[in-house]
Amino acid sequence: MGELLLITDDLRRGERLARDLGAFRACRVHDLYEDGVPASGAELIISDVKAFTSEAILRLRGVLKSVRSADTTFLCLLHENSARAHVQADLLGASGTLSATAATRLLIQALVCLQEHAEAVAPATQRQAESARRFLSETFVPGRAVTPVLADSGTEIVSSAVRASGIRDWVRAVRRFDDATHQHCLLVAGLAVAFSGTLGLSELDRHQLAKAALLHDVGKICVPSAILNKRSKLNEAEMAVMRTHPTRGHAMLAGAGFEDAMLAVVRSHHELLDGSGYPDRLRGREIPDLVRLVTVCDIYGALIERRPYRAPTGGTEAYGILEGMGDRLDRDLVRAFKPVARAYSNTS
């Protein structure tokens, strides 16, 4: 999505909101009472005007006349839920209104919808993503045994789709799913497929990496859905429950025919090289290469996926966060991941 223009009658309040929306690329803030008119070209205009005085309406109408084109979306934040406020928004030609008291949350949801509407996905890619989602919904369920044969089947669905469509379209398709766990597993598996290609792995090793990525969060089957799909950040107690998923996943798959390398990924994908990870606080050489590979994909996938309470992090910014983790991750693998991040973000 392109640039956002935020018009406000309180510059400090407007700048806070702009920071919250920063994941949606550049966000310019214009002081309504500032002399001059902002440059045109924004794909979305948001007004955050608390005092709808006659002067404010005249100024806002003048700014909109100068910078808004016929196809530019204009959202009006309302600081009071009154008939008068809605009439004023209509007279200004607003495409829609949102409550200013819940502006950040509602805007993030609205912007995600606008962004995903703009990001067209090929029907074939969308069908493959839906097939993968159905596989997870039918396989990763309490009481059903996850076997190597089933895991191989799901891995092939993801691998074929990413090879055909590329990682950028795969991420676009998967990010449309509401279930946070399904979305994340499919994102990480897709990233692993793309990563295996840049690493030049053999066909067998590519399949193993993709399968490990698809299975890495299988333990979340045992985590209550109220925690998995919570529409806000987890509190400390909920996070403690969430952090049981690696050991639960390992216990589920142990004895089911999976090789030790696969079990290690399920148990240890949250371990970090400096010993600050969990559940076993492994350090350095205690963490196998396959685990290190999936961990890079896992962290990047978590950053770029959308959540109800925040926008996706941009691809370039997400890669910068990986680099910033320093010795907690395998630096060589992070560098090797850069072509995948570039292919996703479509930037150099």
Alpha-carbon distance values, 294 to 289, 301, 308, 326 (Å): 9, 10, 25, 17
Residues 93, 72: Cα–Cα separation, whole Å: 11
Query: Last residue of a domain, which of 118, 147, 176?
Result: 118
Give the CATH number, domain containing residue 333: 1.10.3210.10
Which of 100, 118, 136 is the C-terminal boundary of a domain? 118
Q: What is the pLDDT of residue 3?
A: 75
Same domain, 112 and 203: no
Least confident of 118-122, 156-160, 218-222, 318-322: 118-122
| Short-list 131, 139, 129, 306, CA closest to 221 | 139
Of the residues 118, 135, 160, which one is the last residue of a structural domain? 118
Q: Tokens in use for 298?
A: 């896992």
Would you say 279 and 245 are in contact if contact means Cβ atoms under 8 Å apart? no
Q: What average pLDDT is seen over the chain?
A: 88
Q: Are residues 139 and 98 in the same domain?
A: no
Say yes or no: 31 and 167 in one domain.
no
Q: What is the CATH number of the domain that holds 59?
A: 3.40.50.2300
pLDDT digits (tens, 9 = 90+) for 35-71: 888 887 787 899 999 988 999 999 999 999 999 987 7
Q: Are residues 128 and 98 in the same domain?
A: no
- Parallel/antiparallel/unpaired status of strands 96-99 and 73-78: parallel
44 three-state secondary structure: strand
**Better-scored residue on pLDDT, 59 or 81:** 59
Lowest mean pLDDT among 97-111, 147-161, 289-303, 327-341: 97-111
Indicate the pTM of the whole model.
0.70
Q: Answer yes or no: do 113 and 159 share one domain.
A: no
Same domain, 47 and 193: no
Residues 105, 76, 59, 91, Cα dihedral to 10°: -170
Residues 202 and 312 in one domain: yes
Rounded to an integer, the average pLDDT of 12-20 is 83
CA distance 323 to 335: 8
For residues 198 and 53, membership in a common domain is answered with no
**63 lies in which domain range?**
4-118
Q: How far is CA 185 from CA 180, 214, 215, 283, 299, in A?
A: 9, 5, 8, 25, 12
- Residues 231-270 have pLDDT tens digits of 778 899 999 999 999 999 999 999 999 999 999 999 999 9
Instruction: Say whether both 340 and 196 belong to one domain.
Output: yes
Co-location of 80 and 112 in the same domain? yes
Identify the DSSP state of 146.
Answer: P
| Residues 218 and 76 occupy one common structural domain | no
d(C-alpha 270, C-alpha 277), whole Å: 6
Residues 81 and 176 in one domain: no
- What is residue 193's three-state secondary structure? helix
| Overall number of domains in the chain | 2
> How far apart are the C-alpha atoms of 115 and 122, rounded to whole Å?
16
Convert the pLDDT of each residue in 173-218 to its tens digit. 898 787 888 899 999 999 999 999 999 999 999 999 999 999 999 9
Phi, psi of 12 (to 5 degrees): -65, -45
